[in-house]
């Protein structure tokens, strides 16, 4: 790793960006997601037990399927980042990364514990992936047209993975959607078995889905999933995100192995809500060109869960006209 800077964090991981000529090219910036695992409650992470070997194995499998060279056809995983490498290492946190952690903390006030307490026995999995840009939480959208394109791109990306892998993300909050600028005018989503081929206007941005810690998918006869047993997911208050976890538990009836694609609709509804209420885009007048994009998102939010709503991301994208502008 060269010229590494911290760019983000999650409950169980630290995220850095830099160059890794061994895996890509000298000029290609990568993202390094570092996840300590395997020691349960012996060494806590931010007050929580470390991820188990089983859970880490599940995330590696899903990440490889959605981004690896031997995974799903790249044409069928357009909204997911390329995986360059995934490996396991052991030891104390390098001083260079701790220095970057301190810089980030001074600027953004980290919610994580400083990772200097891990000893020489600590195991980590490191994902080296394509740089997907900035999280939706931090990205400044220019207008409602970009917000509409974002919702459309994420919807079709979920539909693709849902059809190919019976995929559910199960944690698609605005920190797990990244955005980067693009000069391409459209992005194409193909769903061959549904005979769908859609060109979506990018409006200058590409949206990507990241972090499959809680995700579910099926590859052949193998079902990959994580049981959400931590009651903390279901007792938190203060954001619609926490309602979604409770809605998912009710939908799955606690059987997290089962395929319940409506959970993807829950997260699309959450995304529409975030775009309408939390991105600080001014409500346009009806005579403004931007109004039709604002109205499309508003109409989708009203219909997505109304009277039972859509059954899956595929159902939502096939039968809702919000994206057909």
- CA–CA separation, 179 and 311 (whole Å): 27
- CA–CA separation, 135 and 56 (whole Å): 23
Instruction: Tell me, yes or no, if 171 is annotated catalytic.
Output: yes
Residue 214: burial class (beta carbons within 10 Å; 0-12, 13-18, 19+): buried
In this structure, are residues 16 and 32 in contact, taking their beta carbons and an 8 Å threshold? yes
| Cross-strand bridge partners of residue 197 | 190
| Catalytic position from the list 55, 102, 116, 171 | 171
Local structure of 320: helix, strand or coil: coil
Give 206-222 as a DSSP string: EEEE---TT-BEEETTE
In this structure, are residues 187 and 153 in contact, taking their beta carbons and an 8 Å threshold? yes
Intra-chain end-to-end CA distance of the chain, in Å: 44
- CA–CA separation, 175 and 8 (whole Å): 9
- CA–CA separation, 266 and 261 (whole Å): 9
The helix (H) or strand (E) run that includes residue 3 is strand 2-10
In this structure, are residues 19 and 29 in contact, taking their beta carbons and an 8 Å threshold? yes
Give the catalytic positions in this structure.
171
């Amino acid at each position: 790793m060269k010229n590494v800077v911290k760019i983000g964090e999650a409950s169980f991981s630290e995220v850095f960006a830099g160059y890794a000529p061994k895996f890509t090219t000298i000029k290609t910036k990568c993202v390094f997601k570092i996840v300590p695992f395997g020691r349960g409650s012996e060494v806590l992470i931010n007050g929580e037990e470390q991820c188990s070997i089983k859970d880490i194995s599940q995330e590696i499998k899903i990440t490889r399927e959605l981004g690896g060279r031997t995974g799903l056809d790249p044409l069928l995983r357009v909204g997911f980042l390329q995986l360059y490498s995934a490996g396991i290492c052991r030891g104390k946190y390098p001083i260079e990364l701790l220095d970057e952690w301190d810089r980030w903390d001074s600027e953004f006030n980290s919610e994580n514990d400083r990772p200097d307490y891990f000893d020489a026995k600590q195991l980590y999995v490191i994902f080296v992936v394509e740089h997907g840009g900035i999280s939706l939480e931090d990205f400044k959208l220019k207008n409602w047209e970009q917000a509409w394109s974002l919702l459309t791109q994420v919807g079709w990306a979920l539909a693709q993975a849902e059809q190919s892998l019976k995929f559910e993300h199960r944690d698609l909050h605005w920190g797990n959607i990244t955005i980067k600028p693009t000069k391409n005018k459209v992005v194409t989503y193909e769903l061959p078995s549904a005979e769908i081929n859609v060109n979506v206007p990018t409006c200058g941005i590409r949206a990507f889905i990241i972090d499959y810690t809680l995700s579910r998918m099926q590859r052949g006869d193998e079902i990959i999933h994580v049981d959400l047993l931590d009651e903390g997911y279901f007792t938190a208050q203060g954001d619609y995100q926490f309602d979604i976890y409770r809605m998912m538990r009710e939908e799955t009836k606690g059987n997290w192995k089962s395929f319940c694609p409506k959970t993807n609709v829950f997260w699309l509804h959450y995304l529409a809500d975030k775009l309408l209420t939390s991105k600080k885009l001014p409500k346009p007048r009806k005579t403004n060109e931007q109004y039709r994009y604002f109205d499309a998102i508003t109409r989708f939010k009203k219909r997505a869960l109304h009277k039972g709503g859509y059954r899956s991301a595929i159902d939502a994208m096939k039968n809702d006209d919000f994206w057909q502008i």
